Amino acid sequence: MLKEYFRREASNFLRLGKSLAIVVLIVYFDQATKQYFNNILVQGESIQIFQGLDFTLVYNSGAAFGILAEHSGWQRWFLISVSVIATVGIIVFLYLNRESEFRYLLPLVLILSGAFGNLIDRVNLGYVIDFVHFYYKNWSWPAFNIADSAIFIGAGLLFLHIVKQKNSDSG
């Protein structure tokens, strides 16, 4: 019985360690790319990679897609608070569900990585550095960064997991 307990806890430790390693790698890559583009571009400046993709430096004081960016500054503290609550909540959830298969934890690990990467910017700079810009003719997607991508992919995987779970429960 004790042997089984230690085997299970070792497995949980490895799962949480893998999660932490992913968070560290994504946050590092996010911060490094933001710093790189902040060093080589000035706000609003673009480098065209190919038709439809630019690296354009944008300082986003709002939420995703620039929501709340036009306000007077209160949104910084609001978004920092939301990020801290989400980050702590996800960490607690991951710990409490550490026995789950890693594929079920991965979406939250990605969301945590992105939330933490953008939180670092909001605390240190008062805004988030965005730089990836997709467009087609007159259509343009708002600039984003690696952290935003991690959140988007994590949310998509979480949505797929919920849909799959719901379908398996009803069928």
Residue 93: exposure state from Cβ atoms within 10 A (0-12, 13-18, ≥19): middle
The boundaries of the domain holding residue 127 are: 2-170
Verify whether residue 148 is a known catalytic residue.
yes
pLDDT for 68 equals: 66
- Measured in degrees and rounded to the nearest 5, phi and psi for residue 147 equal -60, -45
CB 70 within 8 A of CB 116: no
Mean pLDDT, residues 118-137 taken together: 96
pLDDT for 1 equals: 77
- CA pair distance 149, 67, nearest whole angstrom: 17
- Measured in degrees and rounded to the nearest 5, phi and psi for residue 66 equal 80, 10
pLDDT (tens digit, 9 = 90+) per residue, 31-64? 999 999 999 999 999 999 999 999 999 999 877 7
pLDDT for 66 equals: 66
Mean pLDDT, residues 95-107 taken together: 91
- Whether the per-residue pLDDT at 65 is higher than 70: the answer is no
What is the residue whose two structure tokens read 């299970």?
8
pLDDT for 147 equals: 97
Would you list the DSSP string of 67-121? TTTTSSSHHHHHHHHHHHHHHHHHHHHHHHTTTS-HHHHHHHHHHHHHHHHHHHH
Among 10-14, 59-63, 81-85, top mean pLDDT goes to 81-85
**Which long-range contacts does 6-15 make (Cβ < 8 Å, 24+ apart)?**
8/99, 12/98, 12/99, 15/98, 15/102, 15/105
pLDDT for 117 equals: 97
Which is catalytic among the residues 30, 121, 130, 169?
130
Verify whether residue 169 is a known catalytic residue.
no
- Whether the per-residue pLDDT at 12 is higher than 90: the answer is no
Over the chain, what is the mean pLDDT? 91
| 3-7, 53-57, 148-152: the lowest-pLDDT one | 3-7
What is the residue whose two structure tokens read 């400046």?
45
Which is catalytic among the residues 30, 121, 148, 169?
148
- CA pair distance 13, 144, nearest whole angstrom: 33
CA torsion angle 35 38 39 45 (round to 10):
150
The count of structural domains within the chain is 1
Mean pLDDT, residues 15-19 taken together: 91
pLDDT for 171 equals: 62
pLDDT for 67 equals: 66
pLDDT (tens digit, 9 = 90+) per residue, 128-137? 999 999 999 9
- Whether the per-residue pLDDT at 143 is higher than 80: the answer is yes
pLDDT for 58 equals: 96
